[in-house]
Structure 1
Amino acid sequence: MSLPQPVPPSWKDLGKSSSDLLSRDFPTSGTSLEVKTATPSNVTFKVNGTLDSKTNLINGDLEGKYTDRKHGLTLTQGWTTSNTLRTLVELENQIATGLKIDLNTALTPDSGSKSALLTTTYKQPGLHTRAFLDLFKGPTFTADTVLGRDGFLVGAEASYNVTEGRVTRYATAVGYSAPEYAVTLHGLGNFSTFAASYYHRVSPDVEAGAKAIYDTKATTQGVKLEVGCKTYLDNAAFIKAKINNSGTLALGYTQSLRPGVKASFGLALDTQRLNEASPSGPAHKIGASFVFEG
């Protein structure tokens, strides 16, 4: 008798361990501040602001989120400094067990731009499938499915333009996931881009990963390669490092100052131009991120 199968990751989360290792906790594009608070009535607030080091512009957003756990309802409302209003309504496990429905809308009054995306997600052991209907673009129907068994994963995605009556995008992926490591292969953009990612938890304190991308439509042929690692110094701090085949080296340091307070610092160096500019110049980037959560 086969063992009970867990719910596999969604299509967007295939290769997530490697992507998180190589992309998160490297604040090199400026300085950001995030404040999260929660109330006893299941309402949370989040304020986020970022100072872009290139443009010196501050972008921010204010978000409020209400959760009714008894009825599986979540309502999120956001407002950004670009005057965009975002609303997300989520309903989970009410119509059927494992079924989630959400409506994500955005409106920019200044330009009249608007969007609405209706999503249904269905999760069961060995199956994770989603369907999206973009109400204003096309309309376009997108669906993806991931099947999992004994650690092996197979997924596919396709988009169909209802007005034009044709498939506009398709992609597939295969992978294997174990507690200590994961491997994923993607064929994206109508098979014009191929990606391979690898993640390995070497020990409880050390993680390593790599990602390779080959774009058949790129003007400069070749494979883009990036490798990185993460090391925990103690229970409250870790360091990360990554480098790609273009010679860009990125370093990150994250420290939990106290419960609910976290600081991260990042540095990106162009190793081929080390003598051309100071670390704050165009060849290099530095940044910081601060998170306060109560």
Structure 2
Amino acid sequence: MAVPNFADIAKASNDLLNKDFYHLSASTFELKSNAPNNVAFKVTGKTSHEKATAGALEGKYVEKGTGLTLTQTWTTTNALDTKVELADTLAKGFKAEGIFSFLPATHATGAKLNLHFKQPNFHGRAFFDLLKGPVANIDAVVGHEGFLAGASAGYDVNKAAVTNYSATVGFTTPAYTAAIAATENLSVFAASYYHKVNSQVEAGAKATWNSKTGNNVGLEVASKYRIDPVSFAKVKVNDRGVAALAYNVLLRPGVTLGLGASFDTQKLDQATHKIGASFTFEG
């Protein structure tokens, strides 16, 4: 199996616990389309439970055979972002990204350089914020026969100091994954587990302990059930008694509906519950 990047060592459990729970927004809309000239367009919109709205228009162009990808995004906050990617050109497994941002209202600018290098038993990344600090964040993962070990660190050039560091170890197979992470300067610890029970059922859990805030351990458990080839349902419960439900169905080719709700089982008589919906159109 390919070695994941540092952020994805526990991806299977994180996706099960966090993705496709549509109650997090009151409504979400996404439209995807592809033009014959290798340009892909995506329009997204989101309404929060506080009635705030946000949206973005994205265009992505892929130059086939060169490894060049150009992505431009314009958001409803009037932010313009441009990302230029060059993959597998200088060396096999090496990708460079330049990300440039501009806010016309304030004339604020941003420039970032990201480097990725991936080999069969190694995955390394370096992120540089060129105008802020500058600061750098570097992480690396090594793997062998399913065992994974990774570390990350942040460095402020002006202060000549390490600003943060983390470490993670894990084990992954096609059927299950397990990981233990120590983040925020090794002060927050998390243990996660994911199990693909069969082709229809997935289950996972995550326990988190912050050594700076006390002895309480946060716990989340989730499960996903594939109802049929075009729909699935998910459920999640945490140690605070908050339960979340989700349902996803492909209504027709290119049209997906997602429905979600969360309930605070300790405050059923209060208005703490949330309901959300998601619509995705692909053409």
Match of 1:144 among 139, 142, 145: 139
Q: Secondary structure at the match of 1:272?
A: coil
| 1:182-219 deviation line (CA, Å, top 9, x unaligned) | 0011010101111111100011100000111111233x
Match of 1:105 among 91, 100, 104: 100
Match in the other structure for 1:205 = 200
CA distance in 2, matches of 1:132, 1:229: 34
1:233 aligns with 2:222: no
Determine what percentage of the aligned residue pairs are the same residue.
45
Q: Secondary structure at the match of 1:70?
A: coil
CA distance in 2, matches of 1:177, 1:88: 32
CA offset at residue 116 of structure 1?
1.8
Match of 1:248 among 232, 239, 242: 242
1:122 aligns with 2:117: yes
| 1:28-62 deviation line (CA, Å, top 9, x unaligned) | 121011000001111000000011122x1221000
| 1:66-109 deviation line (CA, Å, top 9, x unaligned) | 00121100000000001111111000000111100001122222
CA offset at residue 115 of structure 1?
2.2
CA offset at residue 114 of structure 1?
2.7
After the TM superposition, which segments of 4 or more aligned residues of structure 1 sit over 6 Å from their partners? none
The root-mean-square deviation of aligned C-alpha atoms, in Å, is 1.0
AA partner of residue 222 (structure 1) = N
How many residue pairs match? The answer is: 282
CA offset at residue 131 of structure 1?
1.0
Q: After superposition, where does 1:27-176 map in structure 2 within 5 Å?
A: 27-28=22-23, 29-54=25-50, 56-176=51-171
CA offset at residue 221 of structure 1?
4.1
Structure 2: state its 5+ residue gaps.
Answer: none
Q: Are 1:10 and 1:129, in contact at CA under 8 Å, matched by a contact in 2?
A: yes
> Quick one: structure 1 residues 141 and 285, their matched pair in 2 at CA, closer, same or farther if it must change by over 3 Å?
same
Q: After superposition, where does 1:15-34 map in structure 2 within 5 Å?
A: 15-28=10-23, 29-34=25-30
Match in the other structure for 1:3 = none
Q: Are 1:241 and 1:249, in contact at CA under 8 Å, matched by a contact in 2?
A: yes
CA distance in 1, matches of 2:259, 2:6: 31
Instruction: Tell me the TM-score normalised to structure 1 length.
Output: 0.94
Q: Are 1:7 and 1:128, in contact at CA under 8 Å, matched by a contact in 2?
A: no
CA distance in 2, matches of 1:140, 1:236: 45
CA distance in 1, matches of 2:15, 2:94: 26
Q: Secondary structure at the match of 2:266?
A: helix
CA distance in 2, matches of 1:112, 1:183: 45
CA offset at residue 260 of structure 1?
1.1
Q: Secondary structure at the match of 1:191?
A: coil
Structure 1: state its 5+ residue gaps.
Answer: 1-5
Q: Secondary structure at the match of 2:237?
A: strand
